[in-house]
């Protein structure tokens, strides 16, 4: 059991240093050799933990999404909060996590630009990775409608698209515009979600 724990711990250590290489070099120029050198290990040793740099990259994205999902589950379990409050808290938590992981977002953007040159559809790649998040947000909207807290006429598909687009806007502000604050976006989301609420 301790061997497995040590293996996972080492993978996380490699991941942290690999992100530095991706940030310094960009996805295209980051090589397995450069990642190994940054970690102070040989390429052969690195192969014990990861098959290639794409696997390292995918692992980092999956890790971020798993952390987000774990936090979302905790917020959804807070029954003392209304559906509106839970949805706002989830959105703000996600934006906070995006801000904390802006370096990883920068690497992801670099990766999407790199793969789009090979006729890969970046929109498909992002949507495939975030499908679970989109489903969670949609289910939160549906729960709010069923509880009578959100308007019965609320179009779940459109509202969900708005929420997701708000997260995309946060990524754009943090990575492309390099803004250090997302407070305006948080306020806009709170206002929008408040407008989903049915009149008492």
For residue 33, what is the domain's CATH number?
1.10.10.60
- Position 176 pLDDT exceeds 70: yes
For residues 45 and 136, state if they share a domain: no
For residues 155 and 181, state if they share a domain: yes
Distance CA 93, CA 193 (A): 15
The C-alpha torsion from 129 through 134 and 136 to 138, rounded to 10°, is -160
- Residue 168 CB-half CA count within 13 A: 11
For residues 46 and 96, state if they share a domain: no
Domain finish residue from 21, 36, 51: 51
For residues 146 and 109, state if they share a domain: yes
Direct distance between the N- and C-terminal alpha carbons of the chain, in angstroms, rounded to an integer: 55
Look at the chain and report how many structural domains it folds into.
2
Burial of 198 (0-12, 13-18, 19+ CB in 10 A): middle
Q: CATH number of the domain that 149 lies in?
A: 1.10.357.10
pLDDT in tens, 14-37: 888 888 888 788 778 889 899 999
For residues 133 and 40, state if they share a domain: no
For residues 58 and 34, state if they share a domain: no
Distance CA 154, CA 187 (A): 21
pLDDT in tens, 120-156: 766 666 777 788 888 999 999 999 999 999 999 999 9
Residues 6 or more apart from 196 whose CB is under 8 A from it? Answer: 84, 87, 141, 144, 150, 151, 154, 159
For residues 19 and 86, state if they share a domain: no
Q: Against a cut of 0.85, is the pTM above it? A: no
State phi, psi for 151 to the nearest 5 degrees: -50, 135
For residues 20 and 106, state if they share a domain: no
For residues 7 and 62, state if they share a domain: no
32 lies in which domain range?
1-51
Count of C-beta atoms within a 10 Å radius of residue 149: 17
* 3 state DSSP class of 50: coil
Residues 6 or more apart from 141 whose CB is under 8 A from it? Answer: 87, 150, 154, 156, 159, 160, 196
State phi, psi for 196 to the nearest 5 degrees: -75, -20
pLDDT, position 151: 92
């Amino acid at each position: 059991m301790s061997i497995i724990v040590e293996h996972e711990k080492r993978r996380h250590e490699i991941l942290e240093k690999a992100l530095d290489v991706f940030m310094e070099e960009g996805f295209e120029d980051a090589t397995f050799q450069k990642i190994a050198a940054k970690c102070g290990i040989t390429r052969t040793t690195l192969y014990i933990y990861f098959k290639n740099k794409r696997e390292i990259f995918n692992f980092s994205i999956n890790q971020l999404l798993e952390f987000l999902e774990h936090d979302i589950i905790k917020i959804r379990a807070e029954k003392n909060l209304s559906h509106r409050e839970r949805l706002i808290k989830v959105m703000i938590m996600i934006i906070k996590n995006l801000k904390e992981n802006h370096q990883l977002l920068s690497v992801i953007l670099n990766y999407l630009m790199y793969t789009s040159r090979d006729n890969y559809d970046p929109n498909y790649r992002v949507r495939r990775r975030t499908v679970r998040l989109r489903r969670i947000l949609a289910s939160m909207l549906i729960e709010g409608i069923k509880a009578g807290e959100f308007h019965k006429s609320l179009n779940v598909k459109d509202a969900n698209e708005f929420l997701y687009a708000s997260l995309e806007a946060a990524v754009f502000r943090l990575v492309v515009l390099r803004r250090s604050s997302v407070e305006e976006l948080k306020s806009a989301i709170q206002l929008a979600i408040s407008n989903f609420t049915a009149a008492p």
